[in-house]
Chain A
Amino acid sequence: MPRTANELFITLADPTRRAIYERLARDGEQTVRALTDRAGVSQPAVSKHLAVLKDAGLVRDRRNGRQTHYRAEPKALKPLVNWMSLYGAFWRERFDRLETLLNRMDK
């Protein structure tokens, strides 16, 4: 399901949750236990963060026996990238105008 940049920003605003997401994005698929070992919070807390990330479409899970493996879904970040791009586009357009002005100005 497509998410708005707003939802993604809110989801990733929590530092612990963001750290978990970054770890998955950087290191690939991992179990809840492996994530807990490095997260500095309890396993229920990690599971809760993972549920929020999953709800936002940022991670996917896979059951394998008793273990649940999670991995990042980078495509879910697209609305966020799009928003930043729009704002960047504002400045790019202004840079173009600035150059046009410079070309008109006397040396």
Chain B
Amino acid sequence: MIMPDAATRSIVIEREMPHPAEKVWRALTESRLIEQWLMKNDFKPLVGHKFNFRSTPMPQWNGITDCEVLIVEPHKKLSYTWAASGDEAAKGWKTVVTWKLTPTKGGVHVRMEQSGFRPEDEGSFKGASYGWQKFVGTLEYVAGELV
């Protein structure tokens, strides 16, 4: 799933959720709902709409992620760019987040892929600057799946 042998890298997270696709779609596309599980945003489900995710500013990062809606297929597929904002924009990461919903017997299969990580992006995420270390607790669990 995550291999060091490509020029750019992707992260794929998949999960089966016991909810109708329509409901999951709302959580993915209604700004007020997105904020409750992801980040503050001014998202609209319109192709070409430019929006931001906003979180707490940190050293070396203004906390803003620049995005543009690429694909909107109601209840099925949603895609937007996910890029560094502000001073970091020029050399920062430019990735694409794509959500796919596939109905199953008991609900919906949710697949998220974030693609386009380049080798040089690693520095942007290093150390304390992004606060990722608070997720270290889950590292063991995740690494277990990788090895």
Contacts and interface: CB of A to CB of B under 8 A. Distances in A.
A101 B37 contact: yes
Prevailing SS type, chain A contact patch:
helix
B135 A89 contact: yes
A92 B142 contact: yes
B143 interface: yes
Given A93-B138, A98-B37, A101-B33, A84 B132 contact: no
A2 to B, nearest CB: 14
Contacts of A22: 5
A19 to B, nearest CB: 9
Interface in B128-147: 132-133, 135-136, 138-139, 142-143, 146-147
A9 B15 contact: no
A58 to B, nearest CB: 10
Interface string B1-44: 01011010101010101011001101100000100111000000
A88 B11 contact: yes
Interface string A76-100: 0100111111111111111101111
A90 B82 CA distance: 14
Nearest to A98: B37
A90 B110 CA distance: 16
A71 to B, nearest CB: 17
Q: Which residue, of A5, A6, A88, A92, has the highest number of chain B Cβ atoms within 10 A?
A: A88
A66 interface: no
Interface string A1-42: 000111011101101001000100000000000000000000
Contacts of B136: 86, 89
Given A98-B27, A102-B27, A105-B27, A88 B37 contact: no
A9 B7 CA distance: 10
Contacts of A87: 11, 114, 117, 125, 132
A107 interface: yes
Given A81-B143, A87-B11, 16 more contacts: A10-B119, A13-B120, A15-B7, A18-B5, A82-B139, A82-B143, A85-B142, A86-B132, A88-B2, A88-B11, A90-B135, A91-B11, A91-B112, A102-B27, A105-B26, A105-B33
Interface of B: 2, 4-5, 7, 9, 11, 13, 15, 17, 19-20, 23-24, 26-27, 33, 36-38, 110, 112, 114, 117, 119-120, 122-123, 125-126, 132-133, 135-136, 138-139, 142-143, 146-147
